[in-house]
């Protein structure tokens, strides 16, 4: 920009001066040519006589030559060239019948030269050459050049200062963002980048902050999960420890009591096995290691679960019925469908009182396969409904424990369903009891993920 500012106006002004010089110098030459017109041939005397009446002008030098180029008249008094041959390019051009003009600018002056032929009855009888040496306009141009240079200097300083201020503000912001990134990397998940504004860096900082929010949530969920899991594992271990200590420390212990204690130890060990199995299943779901999906008909899986659960239900005095439609096909792994149905039916039986009824229905409607597991047990308190899918969350801990629950069954159902683009919902039935609704996207035979 500065380069353009320093060249373009100068080029334009120089061109303008050249053009004005051309007009003025050519018209001066025309006046002289006019004053010589009418002469049939040029001699030193008649030219001098004719030139005597031509007004003094600003020209630095005027030469008049005859048709051979010999100088007949020269305004320069000392060192004049009368009698010599003037072989300037302009004079040669004029003697060939053309008007000529050249102008150069340099060393503080404009030097302009113009020439024209002198004609008598269409014969070239000589040439007029004028030379002008102008320092005034050159000084004006030099002044303009100086002003432009000063102006450029001021602009350069302002731009430099402004860009330094801006870049400092920018690097400060980036620095703050970097500090925040390092703090969070070091584990300070509550640290946030405090960068205001609407520019890109502020936007990156906002994105970083929301990323850190999620990281903090995930991290606290992970910590809660680890502490819950270790607590859950600690309880049966403590019971086992207590029972073994009692057996070891009691002298002459009754064999019947020993048997009872050992059976309790066995139950706690079984509980530990169930929890670790469920934890392992959840970890596999978290890491995305799910079985290869295929088109599975849900009905045979449901029938298998019902057969499996029938004995337990009969023992408890719970009646189980199901009502299923044909052709309910979904894209999933057979094992995980089994797990989902088993967990829900197991819960329904577990939380039903003796004489209760569990009803399962399987239907497909508008691109979905819908499974409903309903019971007429105590149901779930409304305030607990949103939390029952959380890991280790149980409405009644003692009851769940007594029934052999781990508090992980519904989390497994929810995670499994989400992996296949499905959903699970819990609600209470108007007449009492809970109903769980599972929805898979409907898959046609032959479809693959």
* Residues in contact with ligand ADP by the rule CB under 6 A: 343, 347-348, 351, 375, 377, 379-380, 388, 393-396, 400, 405-411, 434
Write down the least CB distance from residue 187 to ligand ADP, Å: 31
Q: Are strands 357-365 and 368-375 parallel, antiparallel or unpaired?
A: antiparallel
Closest CA to 431 of 374, 382, 386: 374
Q: Looking at beta carbons only, is 329 or 376 nearer to ligand ADP?
A: 376
CB of 441 to ligand ADP, least distance (A): 24
Q: Shortest Cβ distance from residue 409 to ligand ADP (Å)?
A: 3
CB of 225: closest distance to ligand ADP in angstroms? 14
Measured from the CB atom, the residue of 129 and 351 that comes closer to ligand ADP is 351
User: Which residue has tokens 């399962």?
Assistant: 360
C-beta of 293 vs 433, nearer to ligand ADP: 433
Cβ-based nearer residue to ligand ADP, 305 or 434: 434
* Shortest reach from residue 336's CB to ligand ADP, in Å: 16
Q: Which is nearer to ligand ADP, 64 or 358 (CB)?
A: 358
Q: Which of 283, 373, 363, 291 is nearest to 334 (CA)?
A: 291
> Rounded to an integer, what distance in angstroms lies between the CA atom of residue 334 and that of residue 347?
20
Residue (329 or 406) nearer to ligand ADP, CB: 406
Nearest residue to ligand ADP, scored by beta-carbon proximity: 405
Looking at the Cβ atoms of 28 and 347, the one nearer to ligand ADP is 347
Could you give the CA distance from residue 64 to residue 44 in angstroms, rounded to a whole number?
A: 9
Taking the complex as a whole, the smallest distance from the CB of residue 390 to ligand ADP amounts, in Å, to 8
CB 363 → ligand ADP: shortest distance, Å?
20
We find the least distance from the C-beta atom of residue 406 to ligand ADP, in angstroms, to be 5
Q: What is the 3-state secondary structure (H, E, C) of the chain?
A: CHHHHHHHHHHHHHHHHHHHHHHHHHHHHHHHHHHHCCCCCCCHHHHHHHHHCCCCCCCCEEEEEECCCEEEEECCCCCCCCCCECCCHHHHHHHCCCCEEEEEEECCEEEEEEEEEEEECCEEEEEEEEEEEECHHHHHHHHHHHHHHHHHHHHHHHHHHHHHHHHHHHHHHHHHHHHHHHHHHCCCCCCCCCCCCCCHHHHHHHHHHHHHHHHHHHHHHHHHHHHHHHHHHHHHHHHHHHHHHHHHHCCCCCHHHHHHHHHHHHHHHHHHHHHHHHHHHHHHHHCCCCCCCEEEEHHHHHHHHHHHHHHHHHHHCCEEEEEECCCCEEEECHHHHHHHHHHHHHHHHHCCCCCCEEEEEEEEECCEEEEEEEECCCCCCHHHHHHCCCCCCCCCHHHHHHCCCCCCHHHHHHHHHHHCCCEEEEEECCCCCEEEEEEEEECCCCCCC
Q: Are 423 and 404 in contact (CB under 8 A)?
A: no
Least spacing, CB of residue 319 vs ligand ADP, in Å = 15
**Least distance to ligand ADP from the beta carbon of 274, Å?**
9
- The residue (of 117 and 379) whose beta carbon lies closer to ligand ADP is 379
Q: Which is nearer to ligand ADP, 63 or 434 (CB)?
A: 434
Cβ-based nearer residue to ligand ADP, 61 or 401: 401
Q: Give the shortest CB-445-to-ligand ADP separation in angstroms.
A: 32
Query: For residue 119, what are the β-bridge partners?
Result: 124
The answer for residues whose C-beta is within 8 angstroms of residue 420's C-beta and 6 or more apart is 293, 330, 331, 332, 336, 440, 441
Complex with ligand ADP: residue 127 or 313, whichever CB lies closer: 313
């Amino acid at each position: 920009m500065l380069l353009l500012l320093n060249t373009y106006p100068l080029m334009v002004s120089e061109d303008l001066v050249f053009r004005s010089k051309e007009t003025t110098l050519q018209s001066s030459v025309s006046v002289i040519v006019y004053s010589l017109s009418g002469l049939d041939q040029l001699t030193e005397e008649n030219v001098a006589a004719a030139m005597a009446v031509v007004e003094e002008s600003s020209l630095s030098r005027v030469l008049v030559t005859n048709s051979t180029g010999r100088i007949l008249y020269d305004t320069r008094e000392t060192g004049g060239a009368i009698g010599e041959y003037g072989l300037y390019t302009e004079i040669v051009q004029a003697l060939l019948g053309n008007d000529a003009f050249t102008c150069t600018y340099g060393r503080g002056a404009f030097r302009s030269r113009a020439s024209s032929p002198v004609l008598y009855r269409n014969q070239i009888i000589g040439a007029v050459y004028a030379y002008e040496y102008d320092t005034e306009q050159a000084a004006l141009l030099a002044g303009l050049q100086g002003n432009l240079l000063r102006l450029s200097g001021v602009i350069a300083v302002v731009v430099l200062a402004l860009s330094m201020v801006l870049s400092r503000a920018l690097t400060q912001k980036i620095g703050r963002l970097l500090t925040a990134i390092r703090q969070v990397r070091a584990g300070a998940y509550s640290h946030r980048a405090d960068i205001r504004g609407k520019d890109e860096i502020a936007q990156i900082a906002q994105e970083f902050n929301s990323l850190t929010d999620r990281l903090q949530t995930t991290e606290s969920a992970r910590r809660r999960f680890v502490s819950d899991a270790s607590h859950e594992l600690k309880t049966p271990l403590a019971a086992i420890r207590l029972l073994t200590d009692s057996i070891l420390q009691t002298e002459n212990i009754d064999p019947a009591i020993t048997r009872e204690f050992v059976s309790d130890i066995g139950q706690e060990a079984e509980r530990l096995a169930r929890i670790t199995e469920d934890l392992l299943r959840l970890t596999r779901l978290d890491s995305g290691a799910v079985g290869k999906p295929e088109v599975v008909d849900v009905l045979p899986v449901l029938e298998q679960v019902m057969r499996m659960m029938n004995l337990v239900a009969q023992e408890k005095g719970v009646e189980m019925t199901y009502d299923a439609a044909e052709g309910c096909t979904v894209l999933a792994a057979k094992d995980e469908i089994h797990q989902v149905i088993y967990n829900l039916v197991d819960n329904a039986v577990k939380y039903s009182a003796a004489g209760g009824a569990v009803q399962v229905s399987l239907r497909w409607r508008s691109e979905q396969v819908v499974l409903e597991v309903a019971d007429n047990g105590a149901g779930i308190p409304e305030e607990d409904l949103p939390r029952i899918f959380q890991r280790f969350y149980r409405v009644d801990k003692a009851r769940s424990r007594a029934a052999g629950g781990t508090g992980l069954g519904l989390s497994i159902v929810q995670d499994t369903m989400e992996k296949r683009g499905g959903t699970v919902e819990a609600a209470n039935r108007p007449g009492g009891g809970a109903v769980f609704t599972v929805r898979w996207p409907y898959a046609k035979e032959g479809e693959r993920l």
